[in-house]
Structure 1
Amino acid sequence: MKKILLLLILFYTTTQAQDVPFNCDYNAYLFQYNDVFAIDLASGNSYEVATNITGGNINATAYNPADGYIWGSLSTPDKSIVRIGKNFETTTFYIDELPTNNRYVGDVSADGIYYLKSGGTTYYTINLNPESNNYGKYIKTLDLSKSINIHDWAFNAVDGKLYTVEKKTNILYRIEAETGSMENLGAVPILSGLKYTYGAVYFDASGRFYVSANETGTIYVIQNVQNLTGTNIMESNLFAFGPSSSSNDGARCPTAPVPQEICDNGIDDDGDGLTDCEDPSCSGYAGCPVIELSASSSANAGGLESNNRLSQQISKRNFNRAKSNYKFDKTLAKRFSKSKVYGKASSAKGVFQLSDLVPLEVINEDDVIESSPNDLIDITNATKVYSVDYMRQDTAVASILVLETEDGVYEHTKYICDRLLGAELISVSTIEINEQKFIKSLIRNIDGSLEFVLSLSVKSINNEADFAVESHWNLDKYESNVGYYNFQIWSNSLDDLYSLGEEVLRLIAVQKPIISYNNSTPPTVFVRSGQYQNGKLNLQIVNTNRSESVAFDGGLRSTETESVAYVASTINLNGDYISEIEVDAGSLFDIGFRIGDGVATPDDLFMSDGPWGYDDAASTTSVINYAVKANETQFDTEEYPIERNITLKATTSDYVAAYRALTPKFNPIDLTGYVSFKLQAKGTGTLIVRLVKETVANWETQYKTSIELTDDLKDYTLLFSDFKSTSGVPMEVTDVTSIVFTMLAENGEETTKEMTLEQLRFSTNSTSTLAIENVSLEDETDVFATPNPMKTRSSFYFTAQTSESVELMVYNQVGSLVKQIGFSAVKGENKLVLKREGLSSGLYFCKIKSSNTTYKTIKLLLD
């Protein structure tokens, strides 16, 4: 009687949702406990759509083609299943024949039969066809022909068969649902060596099978599984980087298509904002490089803080590196090897070295080299620094940077700074380590390489007896005025990132017990990339939860020596997934800002222009006045402006210098599209001007010239040919990192030196002739492009041996042809104009294709 009463109560616990089916929408749905996330398989991005929709946990979820609802198995009440409507209201059904727990594998066939499995070989069938008289009732119990370790299965609408991937063996199985007979189709190549749990699997209308790894959230795809025989080649690939999950299951309409990126047509086919080889789903296809093969960046170059101190101590650190031509030499670096005490608690309780927390021999590395950027100490809030690079075949594949701080968390993360310096945040989601969710991000660096990034910090609690682990996207979420051990981990492989993160936590726990975790969720609205130009911040915003608008809050400084001004506005996104937004920021040096929709974690960013600074390293030099002011002059579109003006006054019996980096990190810039450096200046005596090249090792052989300053502002034009080196080699301006302005004390006597520098810019002649200032085509195969970098258009100059039809071929960094222009050349000098017309920022390779002359390929940089 009690069971009948319970059945009646549960069966009639209905709401209006029973009349609102999903009806085969294109989302995949991931159920975790009793929360629901919508996943865009094309991008891997997800957002929470409902929470606490049932009293018990939901598993074995499946889309039912027969009624358009999603169904799942409930933990509480036991022996029950649940129907879920579009607005996530639920109806519960009691099935007495079911086991009481562990029902975590399930899917529904096209005719509405629910196949539900727990551990072992036994599975259960339930009729979910609303046209049947037996709707919601148990049918029978079946057994698989073999016991396999699986955590989800799904029906392929193309052939009506069940498919699943076994944990550890990574074997793909085809199952006859009506009989339990199984077919081994072989190990999935892309999963080779992995030991993840595949708790959510999905199909699309073409028979592509999508497999999600619980721990990392990586989504893999197996193509056309209905055509596999067990002996033919299985085609598998990375597809996207989604959220990690646990106690989970996935459901998706199997006849809904999933947009696919065509990897060589220059179009964002799947609408995720990524084109061709930029899209992870193109890894290894159509000439695109496999995503894990690029080198990762060394930890020796990392660690710059995400705040406005960048213009002062840190810019001086970078200047000193540039001045001494410092290069981290991995061949001379000390090797870090496993000791007898590796993985053991320190003999002096609570006293250990940062190196004791660094993993070894967990990612099959050949060597681990020490790469500690010790010059971060004293200019950041780090008191101790230790870092290593993991090497395979002499290439860095991963790095760990560990920093100890005493007064709060370390104030830099890779994802905060790099996006406004040419890098892109491809995706941000979660990775699950020790049953805890951490934020992981995928960053495309300026050079095109990809890195997966994980950051976490650890603090002592309970009178130093225990550890607490925290991981937040927003630095203000960390407790202030306490000490932290800060870990920044990055790798060119998500699987290696997972292994390193897992071992870091194990090594931490060896020293003290980890008794709590406090981790934030990732942002669902974030800036993928951005650029500051002419007073405008141009942002590409990814809006995974389709918010209508976000709040913009920021603090900016117009120059290095000005105070912070606060700004706030609302940015309308109109619910679009990808938005190109322009924010009027005015003239600025740096800006830190936050965008958020008020629903989830907001996104934080920091951007700095190339900084001005001064060099007062000489012991007798004392700076009296240093000021940086905004430049109100409008530069010509064909010029490369060096923003902001400076005034410097100092006493010295040696020297004083001012410098301007062209980029925040002193990265080299190719200036071959320009022919001169122009400025207005006044001051005392001789001003030595150096163009600092990255490839010149000795400071004394850097290229320089000089001008005589007067008390009045005067215009100066310095041709690149005016800059000389003691090496006697003519200057090539392909790798200029900074400009340095030096004044020397005559005869070593103390004197006061002053300089005022304004309206600095690199310039080019915009005429259409080949007589560009001091530039000529010396060889018949030469090609010259100006301006370079290009903003809106560039002109290509070349000499033709005869009148003929030629073509300008423009290739991107991965060798794909992105633009082709026909041109009728005449014998002699020619000018061909290339318009930008949709080409994105980056480096391109340009070649003029001729039947008579093999012209040299040249590089063209687009701002």
Structure 2
Amino acid sequence: MNKKYFINLLLLTFISIQPLISQNTPFNCDYYAYLFQKNDVFAVDLASGSAYEVATDITTGNINGAGYNPKDGYIWGSLTYPQKSIVRIGKNFSTTTYTIDALPTSNRYIGDVSHEGIYYSKSGGDTYYIIDLDPESPTHLTSLGTGTLSQSILVHDWAFNSLDNHLYTVEKGTNKLYRINASTGNVENLGVVPALAGLNYTYGAVYFDNMGNFYVSANQTGTVYIINEVTNINNGSSINSNLFAFGPSSSSNDGARCPTAPVPMEDCTNGIDDDGDGLADCDDPSCSGVSACPTIVAPTTSGNNGGLESNNRLSQQINKRNYNRIKTNYTFRKETAKRIVKKSTYAQRGAKKALTLNDFIPLKVINEDEAIESSPTDLIKITNATDIVSVDYQRKNKTVASILALKTEDKVYEHTKYICDRLLGAELLSVSTIQIEEHNFIKSIIKNVDGGVEFVLSLSARESSDGQNFIIENHWNLDKYKSETGYFNFQIWSNSIDDLMLLSTEVIRLLDVKKTIDTYNISPPPPVFVKKGFYKNGVLNLDIVNVNGSTTVEFDAGFKQTETSNLDNMSSTIVLDKNYISNVILDTGKLFDIGFRIGDGTNTPDDLFMSDGSWGVDDAATSTNVTDFTVTPNEDQTDDTEMSIERNINLKASTKEYVSVYKAFNPRFKSVDISSYNALKFKGNGTGTLEVRFIKESINVWEDQFNATVNLGTTNQEYTILFDDFTSTKSSKADFSDVVTLVFTMVSKNGEKQVKEMNISELKLVNSSALSTNDEANSLANQISVTPNPMIESANVQFNSSQYQNGSLILYNQLGQIIQKSDLKINSGKNEVTIYRNKLATGVYFFKIKSDNLNYITKKLVIK
């Protein structure tokens, strides 16, 4: 810059200062990144991606080009109004506005402050504007002129790296990383960022940490990417980049953060949640693709199994639907499923009078190999859906995304994918937003029981009152949707957030093609939500994510003790600490199902529903007439070595054929491993022969399932059926590692109408001393030891083997669900392996050494 020009400019610069609200304290380099959207402010935890609104309407105009000033500890930015103004923001988000006449009237949406306290801001051109913000400088709050970039670049934010005092930015479209010398305007192209290759997002908020790591947030998806140690990158050298966290989408935005503040990092190998985001090691997105956590994208669940996750008081109907699928040997086979082909009428307005769900199914937008129809038409009979279409998108013969579309006539579809599974082994990793057509829809990230991660979005479209337009609704809570109107409902999930973005955008586009969308009615996501939990013996155990630091939330619930009891209510106040995740224990008493809401009364609350696997009646035989079916609470106490099968049943029916009752081991009809037990025990009485059948997931033919019989007497007595007593036409020995359902059946042997009665109580799985087992297995099992037990962080398991063999160590919870599994190379003689606690909650667990040739007896493990 010419020195004479600079002096003249100082003489001509006119500054007017307009204090709006006096500020008390600066930020002074705190931990958070701050995201500005128009004139609202969000605090962002880069480690977790979580964000919450900390201030609204802090200025008259919109804030952009924000940056942290190391010289005074405040955040500064440019304003759209008053024109030619900048704003200083304090930690309490009060502001002071300054007008700098040398600034242009255009919106300066790019900006940051150097470590010398010099503010560099620009709009869309190559010219950037320079303001002195060093309070110790004689030219404080004056324009220092302008600079010009050495080349044109399409960027939306930049940030100073404290290690070299250069600006860094990423260009939209090309995804190139640039280093800029703010003093000279020289722009250096460092190459395409590998983690961003192929994407076309706007990077409107970027940040630095004290190690020179550069964080780039994609406006549309909210995904945060890290570019490691940019100081050491030269043109042509490799760029180390990765996914870092899943944050909120944003627009009209900008980011600011103290560049010398650290960001917690996940170790990825030590079994500890190092960065405090509730995710350890390979579960943390920042570990994706590192050597310890290779990028293996798991397939998603099929739409054929979807649509029932929240249950909503339909547990018994759902149970019956799944039971009938097993009984009729139903299996969805994608090899023979109908292929969906993109036709010439795709995305055409046309003159068709009636709209169909197929009009809104995206095709060829995520580079799928093929799309197959997987419609679960049996939902129509048990939900409020009147029409259903689901499509699974395939790549390399694996499902990578699905859409479940449902038409309803009187209200929104009554089930959402995120409501239920959190209490059944799945985890809600994140709730934030994704931007479609400049509207922030709620997206959630779910980790399924099998470890697969799905990105999920639900939306519904209803017609306007005149039928000419569509209104789009997107809410976390079903009661926020307008009632007494029909909807087109869409549940969309994918194993990639980018595919979720493409599919959701195309659904919106296809809706707009048929009828113009004139209104979006969208709610914000809940800032406090249940990440995961479980119910056991009258207690709810919840892990609650507390994004906005709430101190209390209200708990309101409706519950039923059994399938046939009335609905009761309960409420209480939950006290939270200010940690990101709090563990909360709630005494509820014994339950069959519970639906509850937690919230602070101001922000969006979180809703959950949990049901145990329900008891159901199979009265499909035409001659069967059920005259009484009652389910009562099971008051029997079980110890840690037993598994109670909840609730007692009383059945009375007349039939010429058969009548059955059945109990799913969990409401999602997923298999559980009960092979650590060896007998079924219960009390009962009734009329004659009772057939008992365990339904295994791996057996497709109903008649081949393992069964046994007992003769019920007229007086109540105790029965024990050893697993060895169960037989099958296809196998000589029962392997109950994948049991889905327990069925009790009574048959009229002679075809005459008979009254059948069964009363069964205190059902449990036990280890009976009457069971005889393989002698060698017993001798080896007796030599298994675990120390310490109870354990705190880890325990050592020692066992013997008579031969070299492959095997595995499997850890189960008290529901029989596998929660950890590791492969073993078993040596001949003495072996030792370590069990790590990781994030396991306090409680009782079971572990088993399982080999190719021998099954060792299951051992109990207590974690303090």
Note whether the superposition's TM-score is higher than 0.5.
yes
Secondary structure in 1 aligned to 2:304?
Answer: helix
State how 1:303-314 maps to structure 2 within 5 Å: 303-304=307-308, 306-314=310-318
Q: Does 1:105 align with 2:103?
A: no
State how 1:593-612 maps to structure 2 within 5 Å: 593-612=596-615
Give the structure 1 partner of residue 368 of structure 2: 365
**Alpha-carbon distance in structure 2 between the residues aligned to 1:833 and 1:265:** 13
Give the structure 2 partner of residue 299 of structure 1: 303
Kindly state the Cα deviation for residue 198 of structure 1 after the two structures are TM-superposed. 0.1
Give the structure 2 partner of residue 327 of structure 1: 331
**CA-to-aligned-CA distance 1:421-445 (integer Å, 9 cap, x gap):** 1100000000000011100000000
Kindly state the Cα deviation for residue 640 of structure 1 after the two structures are TM-superposed. 1.1
**Alpha-carbon distance in structure 1 between the residues aligned to 2:266 and 2:838:** 22
Aligned residue identity for 2:687: T
Aligned residue identity for 2:542: L
Give the structure 2 partner of residue 775 of structure 1: 773
**Alpha-carbon distance in structure 1 between the residues aligned to 2:723 and 2:810:** 27
**Alpha-carbon distance in structure 2 between the residues aligned to 1:289 and 1:649:** 56
Give the structure 1 partner of residue 3 of structure 2: none
Q: Which stretch of structure 1 is more off in the superposition, 207-216 or 476-485?
A: 476-485
Kindly state the Cα deviation for residue 306 of structure 1 after the two structures are TM-superposed. 2.4
State how 1:493-512 maps to structure 2 within 5 Å: 493-512=496-515
**CA-to-aligned-CA distance 1:51-104 (integer Å, 9 cap, x gap):** 000000000000000100000100001111100011111111111111111310
Q: Does 1:62 align with 2:60?
A: no
Q: 2:400 aligns with which of 388, 397, 418?
A: 397
- The alpha-carbon distance between structure 1 residues 784 and 190, as it changes in their structure 2 partners (threshold 3 A), is farther
- The alpha-carbon distance between structure 1 residues 780 and 740, as it changes in their structure 2 partners (threshold 3 A), is closer
Q: Does 1:456 align with 2:454?
A: no
CA contact (8 A) 1:784 1:797 kept: no
**Alpha-carbon distance in structure 2 between the residues aligned to 1:859 and 1:173:** 58
Give the structure 2 partner of residue 534 of structure 1: 537
Kindly state the Cα deviation for residue 780 of structure 1 after the two structures are TM-superposed. 10
- The alpha-carbon distance between structure 1 residues 785 and 619, as it changes in their structure 2 partners (threshold 3 A), is farther
Give the structure 1 partner of residue 131 of structure 2: 126
CA contact (8 A) 1:467 1:516 kept: yes
Kindly state the Cα deviation for residue 482 of structure 1 after the two structures are TM-superposed. 1.0
Secondary structure in 2 aligned to 1:521?
Answer: coil
Q: Does 1:437 align with 2:440?
A: yes
Kindly state the Cα deviation for residue 773 of structure 1 after the two structures are TM-superposed. 2.1
Give the structure 2 partner of residue 710 of structure 1: 713
Q: Does 1:192 align with 2:190?
A: no
Aligned-pair identity in percent equals 55
- The alpha-carbon distance between structure 1 residues 443 and 834, as it changes in their structure 2 partners (threshold 3 A), is closer
**CA-to-aligned-CA distance 1:665-711 (integer Å, 9 cap, x gap):** 21111112111111111111110000111111111111100000111
Give the structure 2 partner of residue 768 of structure 1: none
Aligned residue identity for 1:704: N
Secondary structure in 2 aligned to 1:415?
Answer: coil
**Alpha-carbon distance in structure 1 between the residues aligned to 2:370 and 2:790:** 46
**Alpha-carbon distance in structure 2 between the residues aligned to 1:856 and 1:233:** 49
**Alpha-carbon distance in structure 1 between the residues aligned to 2:727 and 2:351:** 60
Q: Does 1:47 align with 2:52?
A: yes
**Alpha-carbon distance in structure 2 between the residues aligned to 1:335 and 1:860:** 48
**Alpha-carbon distance in structure 1 between the residues aligned to 2:209 and 2:135:** 24
CA contact (8 A) 2:209 2:260 kept: yes
Secondary structure in 1 aligned to 2:750?
Answer: helix
**CA-to-aligned-CA distance 1:731-778 (integer Å, 9 cap, x gap):** 11111101000000131111111111111111115xxxxx88222255
**CA-to-aligned-CA distance 1:495-539 (integer Å, 9 cap, x gap):** 000000000001001111111000000000000001011111000
Kindly state the Cα deviation for residue 29 of structure 1 after the two structures are TM-superposed. 0.3
Kindly state the Cα deviation for residue 322 of structure 1 after the two structures are TM-superposed. 1.8
CA contact (8 A) 1:823 1:832 kept: no
**Alpha-carbon distance in structure 1 between the residues aligned to 2:342 and 2:835:** 56
Aligned residue identity for 1:721: D
**CA-to-aligned-CA distance 1:526-585 (integer Å, 9 cap, x gap):** 000010111110000000000101000010111111111111000000322210000111
**Alpha-carbon distance in structure 1 between the residues aligned to 2:751 and 2:790:** 50
- The alpha-carbon distance between structure 1 residues 281 and 860, as it changes in their structure 2 partners (threshold 3 A), is farther
**CA-to-aligned-CA distance 1:295-334 (integer Å, 9 cap, x gap):** 1110000011624433221111011112223221111110
Secondary structure in 1 aligned to 2:206?
Answer: strand
Secondary structure in 1 aligned to 2:339?
Answer: coil
Q: 2:37 aligns with which of 32, 53, 56?
A: 32
Q: Which stretch of structure 1 is more off in the superposition, 337-346 or 62-71?
A: 337-346
**Alpha-carbon distance in structure 2 between the residues aligned to 1:417 and 1:468:** 27
**CA-to-aligned-CA distance 1:107-161 (integer Å, 9 cap, x gap):** 0000100000111211011000000121111001100100000000000111111
Q: 2:341 aligns with which of 319, 337, 341?
A: 337
CA contact (8 A) 1:164 1:173 kept: yes
**Alpha-carbon distance in structure 2 between the residues aligned to 1:356 and 1:861:** 55
Give the structure 2 partner of residue 15 of structure 1: 21
**CA-to-aligned-CA distance 1:240-286 (integer Å, 9 cap, x gap):** 00000000000000000000010010111011111111111111124
**Alpha-carbon distance in structure 2 between the residues aligned to 1:646 and 1:847:** 36
- The alpha-carbon distance between structure 1 residues 844 and 193, as it changes in their structure 2 partners (threshold 3 A), is farther
CA contact (8 A) 2:310 2:418 kept: no
Q: 1:415 aligns with which of 410, 415, 418?
A: 418
- The alpha-carbon distance between structure 1 residues 631 and 859, as it changes in their structure 2 partners (threshold 3 A), is closer
How many residue pairs end up in the alignment?
A: 838
- The alpha-carbon distance between structure 1 residues 710 and 834, as it changes in their structure 2 partners (threshold 3 A), is farther
Kindly state the Cα deviation for residue 474 of structure 1 after the two structures are TM-superposed. 0.2
**Alpha-carbon distance in structure 2 between the residues aligned to 1:861 and 1:475:** 42
CA contact (8 A) 1:549 1:575 kept: no
Q: Does 1:573 align with 2:576?
A: yes
Q: What is the RMSD computed on CA atoms of the aligned residues?
A: 3.2
Kindly state the Cα deviation for residue 603 of structure 1 after the two structures are TM-superposed. 0.3
Unaligned runs of 5+ in 2: 1-10, 813-817
Aligned residue identity for 1:343: A
**CA-to-aligned-CA distance 1:454-491 (integer Å, 9 cap, x gap):** 00001011321111000000000011121111000000
**CA-to-aligned-CA distance 1:397-432 (integer Å, 9 cap, x gap):** 000000000121111111111111110000000000
Secondary structure in 2 aligned to 1:510?
Answer: helix
**Alpha-carbon distance in structure 2 between the residues aligned to 1:845 and 1:189:** 42
CA contact (8 A) 2:802 2:829 kept: no
- The alpha-carbon distance between structure 1 residues 590 and 153, as it changes in their structure 2 partners (threshold 3 A), is same
CA contact (8 A) 1:311 1:613 kept: no
**Alpha-carbon distance in structure 1 between the residues aligned to 2:860 and 2:501:** 36
State how 1:587-626 maps to structure 2 within 5 Å: 587-626=590-629
**Alpha-carbon distance in structure 2 between the residues aligned to 1:239 and 1:539:** 26
**CA-to-aligned-CA distance 1:206-261 (integer Å, 9 cap, x gap):** 01100000000000001011010122221111100000000000000000000001
Aligned residue identity for 2:774: S
Aligned residue identity for 2:773: V
Unaligned runs of 5+ in 1: 766-770
Q: 2:561 aligns with which of 558, 561, 570?
A: 558
**Alpha-carbon distance in structure 2 between the residues aligned to 1:831 and 1:274:** 28
TM-score normalised by structure 2 residue count? 0.92
Q: Which stretch of structure 1 is more off in the superposition, 281-290 or 599-608?
A: 281-290
Secondary structure in 2 aligned to 1:499?
Answer: helix
Secondary structure in 2 aligned to 1:313?
Answer: helix
Q: 1:377 aligns with which of 377, 380, 386?
A: 380
Aligned residue identity for 1:265: N
CA contact (8 A) 2:540 2:588 kept: yes
- The alpha-carbon distance between structure 1 residues 833 and 269, as it changes in their structure 2 partners (threshold 3 A), is closer
- The alpha-carbon distance between structure 1 residues 537 and 377, as it changes in their structure 2 partners (threshold 3 A), is same
Secondary structure in 2 aligned to 1:11?
Answer: strand
CA contact (8 A) 1:156 1:162 kept: yes
**Alpha-carbon distance in structure 2 between the residues aligned to 1:848 and 1:318:** 30
Q: 2:672 aligns with which of 660, 669, 674?
A: 669
- The alpha-carbon distance between structure 1 residues 785 and 586, as it changes in their structure 2 partners (threshold 3 A), is farther
**CA-to-aligned-CA distance 1:352-402 (integer Å, 9 cap, x gap):** 221110000000000000000000002100000000000000000000000
Q: 1:205 aligns with which of 210, 213, 221?
A: 210
CA contact (8 A) 1:782 1:855 kept: no
